Structure 1
Amino acid sequence: MTRAISLAALTVLEAGPVETIRIAAACGYTHVGLRPVAATPTERHWPMMSDAALAGEIRAALDGEGVGVLDVEILRLTDAIDWDLVRATADYAAAVDARRILVADNDPDAGRSRDNLARMGEIADGAGAVVALEFMPWTHAPNLAAARARTQGLRGVAMLIDAFHLVRSGGRVDELVAGDPAISYLQLCDIAGPIPDMDAILTEARADRLFPGEGEVDLAGILARYPTLPISLEIPADRLRLLGVGPRERAALAITAMRRVMEKAGQND
């Protein structure tokens, strides 16, 4: 069985969605991640949901290159959710045949957060998708245990495991339950060194991750626990981008490194 390997939007964010699809195909990825909702107010963003011409270009590129969409992002749990945006994102996921919508928890009220996550799950389920909660140390679902408490028993709701956030939240690979059906997919990268302060974690997460095999994460252990789950390679590397290493070159480095780790772990993609 071929394991899907997706090129996450953040890895090559400057490329834009159409170029990302073409880069993914050229480098041997099976899927891409698309970011129709900006993650930060300052990042460069492409209006995929509102620009019909761009939406058509994206659809044509996906069909022409034979690349799928693994996930779309990013929705946020907050105290004032734009439900029209949630529904539009679910509709967009359906339009590009994505089965996963990434969600982050930015709501300090755990009960309200879970209720709203359940509502998001119902909307996603109606579009043939799941919402996948990503725990991150700086959010109100900062670790695996918190994410599990938020998501358990909710229809249309899953989790994803990001190797970076697992390690930087103080989690361990041996805490992951092999074959856990609550885990929808993996976001993989590498990282090294002790857990720094939160500002440094944010900088690492958004701009300075390592390629698989360059750090200290037990990626082989994660792969062994989830031998069939799709992999999203989310590896922003500004140290290379600022030296002029372009998005295609970085995407190629990422998948080559991932395949090397998989081969050593006795897995083929």
Structure 2
Amino acid sequence: MKTEFSLAHLTVLGCAPPEMIYIASLCGYDYVSIRPIYMKLPNEPNYDLAHNKAMMKHTKEAMRRTGMRIHDIELAKIDDTIDVEDYKAAIETGAELGAKSLLSSIWTEDKSMYIEKFHHLCELAKPYGMTVDLEFVTWAGVKNLKQAVEVLNSIDIDNKGLMIDTLHFNRSRVALEELDNLPPEWFNYVHLCDGPKEIPETKEGLIHTGRDERLYCGEGEINIADIIRRIPRPVVYSLELPHLKRVKELGYTEHARRCLVTAKEYLEKHNLENFCLK
């Protein structure tokens, strides 16, 4: 089974989906992971394809010309104020582009509410054949694997999933053993990147590395290999590796290329190409 890689939008966030697709094709990726849900973060471009018909048209044209596929769309954030019904247009757009998964994360402490909303999000995506993959984020409401597993165990629907990001896994201080005995069908893809040994003590420090300064695989101190070895089935590796300084120095295409080359070198070095635990 061929190991497949996706270029995550945060790695090249300044590129609109059509440009991102051409870059991914030039670099040798199998997929792109796009961000058509506008989150209104500081300095975040708006790639709302559901309402930008011209960009949607150019995205389809780029896919046709390159043969590039969309693996997943993001980010269906859950918090106290968001009505998940508002994500329906983005889900329909993602399905139209062939996306397999919808990424979600939880940013509230209200457990009963976020479990209900996550379940409803899965219901919205299910008719389109999409999984909804929950990512725990170190500075979010659901911030570790234990909390994410609790959410998934609380709902009875077969398109729920779990998305492991190696940076958040490390910085949430998750033990490797916590991955043991989780249902294989929960795993569809992972976010691969590296990071420094030191874990910031402040939210601001965590956010800075997460959004602005992740490292190439093998460049930092995260035990990526042992995390991958505990993933219970082959998954797509989505390379989420934003690094603003390197993008400024190298350009988006060269940065994206180095993300892929170093990931492949890391997997080969650790005998993890085509790795499957079971």
TM-score using structure 1 length? 0.94
Query: Where does residue 254 of structure 2 map in the other structure?
Result: 249
| Identity fraction in percent | 28
CA contact under 8 A between 1:235 and 1:254: conserved in structure 2?
yes
Name stretches of at least 5 consecutive residues in structure 2 with no aligned partner.
none
The correspondence of residues 71-90 of structure 1 with structure 2, limited to 5 A, is: 71-90=72-91
Query: Where does residue 157 of structure 1 map in the other structure?
Result: 160
Q: 1:183 aligns with which of 151, 172, 187?
A: 187
- The residue type equivalent to 1:159 in the other structure is L
The correspondence of residues 164-175 of structure 1 with structure 2, limited to 5 A, is: 164-175=167-178
Taking the aligned partners of 1:194 and 1:154, their CA distance within structure 2 comes to 38
Taking the aligned partners of 1:11 and 1:39, their CA distance within structure 2 comes to 16
Tell me how far 1:165 sits from its aligned partner. Answer: 0.4
CA contact under 8 A between 2:200 and 2:206: conserved in structure 1?
yes
C-alpha offsets along residues 190-234 of structure 1, whole Å, 9 cap, x if unaligned?
Answer: 012222122100110000100000011122223323351111000
Taking the aligned partners of 1:268 and 1:142, their CA distance within structure 2 comes to 29
Tell me how far 1:84 sits from its aligned partner. Answer: 3.9
Moved segments of 4+, more than 4 Å? none
SS in 1 for 2:184: coil
The correspondence of residues 49-88 of structure 1 with structure 2, limited to 5 A, is: 49-88=50-89
- The residue type equivalent to 1:192 in the other structure is P
Q: How many pairs are equivalent?
A: 268
Name stretches of at least 5 consecutive residues in structure 1 with no aligned partner.
none
The yes-or-no answer on 1:239 pairing with 2:240 is no
The correspondence of residues 184-263 of structure 1 with structure 2, limited to 5 A, is: 184-197=188-201, 198-226=203-231, 228-242=234-248, 244-263=249-268
- The residue type equivalent to 2:156 in the other structure is L
Taking the aligned partners of 2:79 and 2:58, their CA distance within structure 1 comes to 32
Q: Which moved more, 1:137-146 or 1:84-93?
A: 84-93
- The residue type equivalent to 1:28 in the other structure is G
Taking the aligned partners of 1:105 and 1:83, their CA distance within structure 2 comes to 12
Tell me how far 1:151 sits from its aligned partner. Answer: 1.6
Tell me how far 1:177 sits from its aligned partner. Answer: 2.4
CA contact under 8 A between 2:8 and 2:33: conserved in structure 1?
yes
Taking the aligned partners of 2:147 and 2:2, their CA distance within structure 1 comes to 32
Distance 1:257 1:39, change over 3 A: farther
Distance 1:181 1:148, change over 3 A: same
C-alpha offsets along residues 94-118 of structure 1, whole Å, 9 cap, x if unaligned?
Answer: 1111111111101221011001111
Query: Where does residue 144 of structure 1 map in the other structure?
Result: 145
Taking the aligned partners of 2:162 and 2:148, their CA distance within structure 1 comes to 7
Q: Which moved more, 1:44-53 or 1:23-32?
A: 44-53
Tell me how far 1:130 sits from its aligned partner. Answer: 1.2
Taking the aligned partners of 2:119 and 2:85, their CA distance within structure 1 comes to 16
Taking the aligned partners of 1:215 and 1:154, their CA distance within structure 2 comes to 38
Tell me how far 1:63 sits from its aligned partner. Answer: 2.0
Taking the aligned partners of 2:64 and 2:168, their CA distance within structure 1 comes to 33
Tell me how far 1:162 sits from its aligned partner. Answer: 0.1
CA contact under 8 A between 1:219 and 1:261: conserved in structure 2?
no
- The residue type equivalent to 1:17 in the other structure is P
Query: Where does residue 15 of structure 1 map in the other structure?
Result: 15
Query: Where does residue 30 of structure 1 map in the other structure?
Result: 30
C-alpha offsets along residues 38-63 of structure 1, whole Å, 9 cap, x if unaligned?
Answer: 24432122231111121111011112
SS in 1 for 2:163: strand
C-alpha offsets along residues 57-92 of structure 1, whole Å, 9 cap, x if unaligned?
Answer: 101111211111111011111223234422112111
CA contact under 8 A between 2:138 and 2:171: conserved in structure 1?
yes
